[in-house]
């Protein structure tokens, strides 16, 4: 078994691609329009083609979604969480929880929010 991707629905594909590539530093690997289904899929990742991807799904005739209350967050490990958050803030990203130790623990974490309100956790891994 191999983990392939996580999919989230986005309201504005260009705005979401801009956030995930320019603010988060992911790379767009491929994008495909499905005329018959009236949707577009964009796959982003950290580099190589063998890693898990983030799939952005844009439905052409849908302008809004309810993100629901069951979704938690996606998480990325980073070597320097303070520098990462500074870079994201300078690029216009929204830091919703500044870097610091998690409650009841010592692990340093931070949270960012994407243009659709999805939460992204950073975990410092030295």
Which residues are catalytically annotated? 121
Residues 6+ apart with CB under 8 A from 11: 62, 63, 64, 65, 115, 116
Question: Are residues 32 and 68 in contact, defined by beta-carbon separation less than 8 angstroms?
Answer: no
Structure token digits, residue 21: 């590539």
Query: Which of 4, 10, 13, 86 minimizes the C-alpha distance to 45?
Result: 4
Question: Are residues 123 and 111 in contact, defined by beta-carbon separation less than 8 angstroms?
Answer: no
């Amino acid at each position: 078994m191999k983990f392939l991707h996580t999919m989230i629905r986005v309201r504005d594909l260009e705005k979401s691609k801009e956030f995930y590539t320019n603010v988060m530093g992911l790379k767009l690997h491929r994008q495909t329009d499905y005329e018959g289904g009236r949707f577009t899929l964009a796959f982003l990742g950290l580099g190589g083609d063998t890693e898990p991807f983030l799939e952005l799904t844009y439905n052409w005739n849908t302008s809004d979604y309810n993100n629901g209350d069951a979704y938690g967050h996606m998480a990325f490990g980073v070597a320097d969480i303070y520098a990462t958050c500074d870079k994201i803030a300078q690029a216009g990203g929204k830091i919703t929880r500044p870097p610091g130790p998690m409650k009841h623990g010592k692990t340093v974490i931070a949270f960012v929010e994407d243009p659709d309100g999805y939460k992204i956790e950073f975990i410092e891994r030295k």
